[in-house]
Amino acid sequence: MAYGAVNGEPVVLCDVALGDGNGSVPAPTRTSTALVNEVYRAGINSITLHQDNPSWYIVELVVPPDVGGFTVREFRIDDAAGNAIYIGNMAPETKPVLPEGMTRDSIYRLIVETSNAATINLTVDNSIVIATHQYVTDRMDEHLADADPHPQYAKDTDLQAHVEASDPHPQYAKDTDLADHEADVDPHPQYLTAAELVAYLALTRKPATRSYFANI
């Protein structure tokens, strides 16, 4: 982390490993680079900045219900190259499996601290990302607080303006348009009038044509 801060190179947090400490809670030091006994490892599900402290990050790991049978006492967060960036301990927490009655995912939220938030980056594997209950709740709160969460739909004010408009559908003919059409001497100039047809027949020299039109 210090190297990344000094050289301006982001640290890419990628994986979380859990360990059982071989039966006791370990006491990692600044020189610790490995867990006492690693029992599970997976990609980070999400990483978010803490709401109250800009130096804290919440790294979230989701463990499926079919993984377990151990007690978590330690954790390690690695970068993309597999280097241990954070290592720590936690209060013992048993992770049961399906035969022991575990039917849901277990979520581990690990709070880590950095003096330079700009040095943190994240690689997320989209194939393992899971929307947690808290994530869904946060997005729903944002949705409900939005003044116009569905801009693709008409609002009450839009409908009221539509109702009050003198011509809300200009693409359609109005009653007045139809009245003007009926009163027009020649509403369809693209067609022959009766007088034009008679004149045409008078000029044609084809008896068969005159006979045809005379009998329709």
Q: Helix 207-214 vs helix 194-203: angle between axes, to the nearest 10 degrees?
A: 150
Nearest by Cα to 62 from 45, 41, 79: 45
> How much is the pTM?
0.55
Do residues 28 and 75 make contact, with C-beta atoms less than 8 angstroms apart? no
pLDDT in tens, 152-177: 887 778 778 888 888 888 888 777 77
Average pLDDT rounded to a whole number, residues 76-97 = 90
Q: How confident is the model at residue 128 (pLDDT cuts 50, 70, 90)?
A: very low
For residue 15, give the amino acid letter.
D
Alpha-carbon distance 128 to 64, whole Å? 10
pLDDT of residue 71: 94
Nearest by Cα to 124 from 65, 51, 48, 68: 48
Alpha-carbon distance 64 to 61, whole Å? 10
For residue 156, give the amino acid letter.
D
Distances from the Cα of 147 to the Cαs of 143, 150, 151, 155, in angstroms? 9, 9, 10, 11
12-21, 73-82, 144-153: the lowest-pLDDT one: 144-153
- 76 or 133, greater pLDDT: 76
Q: Is the pLDDT assigned to residue 184 strictly greater than 80?
A: yes
31-45, 56-70, 117-131, 161-175: the lowest-pLDDT one: 117-131
| Tokens matching residue 215 | 């009998």
